[in-house]
């Protein structure tokens, strides 16, 4: 029997963030559907609703025109909706068989027979009696899939399934998914990887900022068109001041930046060379997961790579750690505000003190000079219009926008010569985004330089003087931003070439 899944007007609002804004979609069995969007676009919220983990504030889900009440994961299971989460829902210390038997209704003997049938049918090879923690990520995912298959699902939802897989495992997964699809299982495939959508899926729905912005047949799409839909192709309205830095000195120069990692989930960087002039903003565009994390960590000194040359203010700093680089007046704003830039459990003034300079006399003879730090923190809060003046507040109670302002304030109040930021407006509301954009423009006006690594093309076009695109760890040629269009960026971000 054919399956028809319909989502109607789903909304889910979290404090300060609309995760799903009136989402309506329709799926039919026999096809593989892609749900595409950047991080934070609302895909994961939607699939959590479909799998009963969270309840929507509004809206309904229909399976074959039957209105489903999905108030717990059990409801989704009963209604034959199977779900493979991005972060596996497995019990690491239990054996594979125990993991599969935990919600089985049959006895162990017949369950084992059924599991072995599935293993044989789809050519999976997994030892059922080893603990799950001994398995590779790909095998763990297969266990999750088997768990769904045991309940003969009508719908199978895969949330970012390839983010933990090697290329070989990805290919195997695609073969299996196509098989499931032929057997009449409706497959919803959540991803932010464009090529996967094109090679695997029949239809694609693109989500941005909690909304569905487009639904189309994948055969009518290309990498570039999808990239534009995903990141938003609105042209920047306010462009930055005219590029005045043409004849300025180079303040920061990177040569032969190579990075090689054994970890299959890190991206290798291949021979990156670029430079930044005084008062200039270099934008680095790209879809997330193309090496931005690694690049940021190398620039900030968290990772030291051999044979790389980084010249900053005429000094070689490639071997210096982040603290030493800060002393040379570099500043950093990492992507992950909560775990990398700030410690959420600490108070505001304590977070300010974390980034301490020799000159800042926050610490005297090993003791914390609370008064100095608090004064300094108060100044940051007011200078950067953070929505509180209470320096004793724990940082976790700040909204994303206010936390980002605090972090930028902390980094900028020391008047750095170069600020490197990575997705500074990720997940923020429009007001906070504007404030941060103005701040970044102001830095350049004061003859200080910035490197902006961002997945938001709109932001890059608005703020950068020069733009390069990173794709699979390689950097495109560096282009003056007036020559760059969203279309060009889309092509480069998808791995294409514009010459």
Partner 1 sequence: MSLDISFIGILIGSIMASSVPLILAASGELITERSGVLNLGVEGMMIIGAISGFALMVITDNLFIAIVGSMLSGVIISLIFGFLTQSLLTNHVATGLALTIFGIGLSAMLGKNFVGIPGKEFPILFSSLRESIPFFGPILFGHSIVLYFAFALPFLTNYFLKKTKLGLVVRAVGDSPVSASNQGINVILVRYCCILYGGAMCGLAGAYLSLIYTPQWIENMTAGRGWIALALVVFATWSPIKVLIGALIFGGITILQLHMQAIGFRIPVQFLSALPYLMTIIVLVVISRDSRKIKLNTPTSLGRIFYKEK
Binding site for partner 1 (CB under 8 A): 48, 51, 53-55, 72-74, 77, 85, 88-94, 98, 101-103, 131, 133
Q: Which is nearer to partner 1, 100 or 420 (CB)?
A: 100
Please report how close the Cβ of residue 91 comes to partner 1 at its closest, in angstroms.
4
Q: Kind of pairing, strands 449-453 and 32-36?
A: unpaired
Please report how close the Cβ of residue 175 comes to partner 1 at its closest, in angstroms.
27
Please give the Cα distance from 309 to 316 (Å, whole number). 7
Q: Which is nearer to partner 1, 102 or 354 (CB)?
A: 102
Q: Which is nearer to partner 1, 77 or 466 (CB)?
A: 77
Please report how close the Cβ of residue 97 comes to partner 1 at its closest, in angstroms.
10
**Burial of 263 (C-beta count, 10 Å sphere; 0-12/13-18/19+):** exposed
Please report how close the Cβ of residue 13 comes to partner 1 at its closest, in angstroms.
12
Q: How many CB atoms lie within 10 A of CB 191?
A: 23
CA distances to 118, 134, 136, 193, 410 from 131, rounded to whole Å, are 19, 6, 11, 31, 46
Please report how close the Cβ of residue 345 comes to partner 1 at its closest, in angstroms.
14
Q: Which is nearer to partner 1, 89 or 261 (CB)?
A: 89
How many CA atoms lie within 13 Å of 234's alpha carbon, on the beta-carbon side? 11
Please report how close the Cβ of residue 289 comes to partner 1 at its closest, in angstroms.
24
Please report how close the Cβ of residue 90 comes to partner 1 at its closest, in angstroms.
6
Q: How many CB atoms lie within 10 A of CB 109?
A: 8
Q: Which is nearer to partner 1, 159 or 221 (CB)?
A: 159
Main-chain phi, psi angles of 336, to 5 degrees: -90, 100
What's the chain's Rg over C-alpha atoms? 25
Q: Do residues 369 and 376 touch, judged by C-beta distance below 8 A?
A: no
In the chain, the N- to C-terminal Cα span, in Å, equals: 50
Q: Which is nearer to partner 1, 130 or 415 (CB)?
A: 130
Please report how close the Cβ of residue 102 comes to partner 1 at its closest, in angstroms.
5
User: Which stretches does DSSP call E strand in 81-147?
Assistant: 81-84
Please give the Cα distance from 364 to 368 (Å, whole number). 7
Q: Which of these, 350, 41, 463, lies nearest to 226 by C-alpha position?
A: 41
Q: Which is nearer to partner 1, 140 or 208 (CB)?
A: 140
Please give the Cα distance from 212 to 405 (Å, whole number). 29
How many CA atoms lie within 13 Å of 335's alpha carbon, on the beta-carbon side? 18
Q: Which is nearer to partner 1, 100 or 227 (CB)?
A: 100
Q: Which is nearer to partner 1, 151 or 253 (CB)?
A: 151
Please report how close the Cβ of residue 107 comes to partner 1 at its closest, in angstroms.
10
How many CA atoms lie within 13 Å of 120's alpha carbon, on the beta-carbon side? 6
Q: Which residues pair with 285 in a beta bridge?
A: 469
Q: Do residues 353 and 373 touch, judged by C-beta distance below 8 A?
A: yes
């Amino acid at each position: 029997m054919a399956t028809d899944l319909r989502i109607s007007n789903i909304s889910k609002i979290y404090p300060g963030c609309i995760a799903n804004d009136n989402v309506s979609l329709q799926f039919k069995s026999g096809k593989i559907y892609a749900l595409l969007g950047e991080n934070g676009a609302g895909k994961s919220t939607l699939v959590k609703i479909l799998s009963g983990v969270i309840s929507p504030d509004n809206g309904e889900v229909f399976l074959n025109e039957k209105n489903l009440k999905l108030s717990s994961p059990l409801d989704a299971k009963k209604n034959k909706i199977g779900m493979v989460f991005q972060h596996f829902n497995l019990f690491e210390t239990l054996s594979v068989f125990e993991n599969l038997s935990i919600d089985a209704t049959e006895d162990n003997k017949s369950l084992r027979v059924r599991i072995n049938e599935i293993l044989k049918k789809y050519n999976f090879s997994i030892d059922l009696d080893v603990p799950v923690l001994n398995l590779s990520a790909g095998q763990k995912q297969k266990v999750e899939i088997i768990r769904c298959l045991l309940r003969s699902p009508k719908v199978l939802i895969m949330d970012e399934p390839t983010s933990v897989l090697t290329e070989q495992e990805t290919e195997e997964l695609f073969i299996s998914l196509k098989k499931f699809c032929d057997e009449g299982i409706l497959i919803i495939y959540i991803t932010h990887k464009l090529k996967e959508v094109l090679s695997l899926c029949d239809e694609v729905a693109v989500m941005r900022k909690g909304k569905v912005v487009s639904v189309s047949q994948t055969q009518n799409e290309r990498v570039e068109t999808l990239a534009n839909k995903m990141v938003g192709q609105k042209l920047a309205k306010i462009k930055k001041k005219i590029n005045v830095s043409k004849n300025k000195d180079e303040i920061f120069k990177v040569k032969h930046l190579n990075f090689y990692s054994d970890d299959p989930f890190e991206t290798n960087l291949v021979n990156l060379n670029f430079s930044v002039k005084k008062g200039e903003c270099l934008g680095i565009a790209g879809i997330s997961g193309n090496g931005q994390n690694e690049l940021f960590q190398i620039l900030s000194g968290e990772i030291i790579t051999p044979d790389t040359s980084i010249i900053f203010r005429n000094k070689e700093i490639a071997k210096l750690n982040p603290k030493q680089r800060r002393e040379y007046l570099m500043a950093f704003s990492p992507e992950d505000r909560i775990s990398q830039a700030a410690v959420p459990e600490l108070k505001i003034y304590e977070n300010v003190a974390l980034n301490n300079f020799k000159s800042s006399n926050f610490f005297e003879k090993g003791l914390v000079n609370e008064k100095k730090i608090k004064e300094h923190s108060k100044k940051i809060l007011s200078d950067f219009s953070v929505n509180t003046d209470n320096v004793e507040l724990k940082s976790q109670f700040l909204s994303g926008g206010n936390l980002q302002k605090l972090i930028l304030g902390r980094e900028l109040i020391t008047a750095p010569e170069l600020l490197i930021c990575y997705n500074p407006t990720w997940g923020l509301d429009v007001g906070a985004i504007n404030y941060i954009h103005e701040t970044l423009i102001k830095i350049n006006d004061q003859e200080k330089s910035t490197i902006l690594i961002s997945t938001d093309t709109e932001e890059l076009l608005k703020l950068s003087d020069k733009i390069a695109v990173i794709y699979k760890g390689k950097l495109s040629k560096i282009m003056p931003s007036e020559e760059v269009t969203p279309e060009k960026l889309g092509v480069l971000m998808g791995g294409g070439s514009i010459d």
